[in-house]
């Protein structure tokens, strides 16, 4: 049985869980944080928390390489499907880290902010665990393939600006999953991997909610600071080198995640 990590508040514990290196332990503790958040355990929103060494905690494998060096394989072979699902599992593992970082790093926000991101961390932990289980069914495990560090790199760029963090991680990088997931599901269905398609159904459903959380808090912060959400987003994207998103876009999922028509029009503007 996993032992609870002792700490004074959920934010303090989120920092400790972020520094865990074992993926299974991190996922288990993230789920425990979600349960405690739902039970009303103290958040410690005003606690001053210095970073801990080894942030974020990661296993020795997978080896991290530049994004362009991650091998691409056909999903029509077992090895290729495993590589594809490994890439998605790596995204979900990083998403646990990103949510936990959003909890511990930024102080003095409404309790609802922290409970939202603890919910995200717990759900990302479930996604990672489902994918890892299926990878093992395919004869592989997390760490068997190379991966890249693009998601955490953006988290590091935005570590001192919560508005930029909300703009460029959940509603930019993670929102790309809303667009990509149906296309990946079609490939997996063609290869006959119905279990992988089912897992991605769960992930897509939850990710709509996660992106919606990013949208909500981005707009809340913009309103608090007197910023225009669309104009400031463009400023932040240029400042931090966010990728220019390309079609096709899953407009239905993006609308459910809270993107306005004006934001979708901006997204679809000519390159």
Q: pLDDT band at residue 51, thresholds of 50, 70 and 90?
A: confident
Backbone angles phi, psi at 147, to 5 degrees: -145, 175
135: burial class by Cβ within 10 Å (0-12, 13-18, 19+)?
A: buried
Percentage of the chain beyond pLDDT 70 is 97
In this structure, are residues 138 and 124 in contact, taking their beta carbons and an 8 Å threshold? no
Query: In Å, how far from its chain's centre is CA 18?
Result: 13
Report d(CA 131, CA 24) in Å as an integer: 12
Which numeric CATH code is attached to 10-55+71-267? 1.20.1260
pLDDT tops 70 at residue 82? yes
pLDDT of 4: 45
Q: What average pLDDT does range 157-167 have in this prediction? A: 97
Q: Dump the DSSP string for 75-97.
A: TTSHHHHHHHHHHHHHHHHHHHH
Q: Determine how many CB atoms are found less than 10 A away from the CB of residue 228.
A: 10
In this structure, are residues 249 and 264 in contact, taking their beta carbons and an 8 Å threshold? yes
Q: What average pLDDT does range 118-136 have in this prediction? A: 98
Mean pLDDT of the chain: 93
Contacts 24+ apart (CB under 8 A), 16-21: 16/52, 17/100, 17/121, 18/55, 18/56, 18/57, 18/97, 18/100, 18/101, 18/104, 19/52, 19/53, 19/54, 19/55, 19/56, 19/57, 20/57, 21/54, 21/57, 21/58, 21/59
Query: In Å, how far from its chain's centre is CA 97?
Result: 8
pLDDT tops 90 at residue 145? yes
Q: pLDDT band at residue 269, thresholds of 50, 70 and 90?
A: confident
Q: What average pLDDT does range 48-68 have in this prediction? A: 90
- Total residues belonging to the chain: 271
**Greater model confidence, 225 or 71:** 225
pLDDT tops 50 at residue 256? yes
Q: What average pLDDT does range 68-81 have in this prediction? A: 84
pLDDT of 2: 44
pLDDT of 241: 94
Q: Dump the DSSP string for 98-133.
A: HHHHHHHHS-S--HHHHHHHHHHHHHHHHHHHHHHH
pLDDT tops 60 at residue 58? yes
pLDDT tops 70 at residue 268? yes
């Amino acid at each position: 049985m996993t032992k609870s990590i002792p700490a004074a508040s959920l934010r303090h514990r989120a920092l400790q869980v972020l520094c865990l290196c074992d993926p299974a332990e991190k996922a288990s503790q993230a789920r425990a944080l979600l349960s405690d958040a739902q039970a009303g355990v103290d958040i410690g929103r005003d606690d001053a928390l210095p970073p801990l060494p080894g942030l974020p905690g990661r296993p020795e494998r997978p080896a991290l390489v530049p994004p362009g060096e991650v091998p691409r394989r056909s999903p029509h072979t077992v090895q290729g499907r495993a590589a594809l699902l490994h890439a998605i599992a790596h995204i979900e593992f990083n998403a646990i880290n990103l949510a936990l970082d959003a909890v511990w790093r930024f102080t003095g926000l409404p309790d609802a902010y922290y409970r939202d991101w603890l919910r995200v961390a717990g759900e990302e932990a479930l996604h990672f665990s489902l994918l890892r289980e299926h990878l093992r069914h395919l004869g592989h495990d997390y760490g068997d393939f190379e991966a890249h560090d693009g998601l955490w790199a953006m988290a590091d760029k935005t570590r001192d600006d919560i508005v930029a963090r909300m703009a460029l991680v959940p509603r930019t990088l993670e929102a790309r999953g809303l667009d990509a997931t149906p296309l990946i599901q079609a490939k997996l269905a063609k290869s006959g991997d119905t279990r992988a398609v089912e897992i991605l159904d769960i992930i897509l459903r939850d990710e709509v909610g996660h992106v919606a959380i990013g949208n909500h808090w981005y707009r809340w912060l913009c309103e608090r600071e007197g910023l225009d959400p669309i104009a400031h987003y463009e400023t932040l994207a240029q400042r931090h080198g966010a990728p220019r998103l390309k079609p096709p876009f899953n407009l239905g999922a993006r609308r459910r995640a809270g993107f306005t028509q004006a934001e979708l029009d901006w997204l679809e503007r000519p390159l």
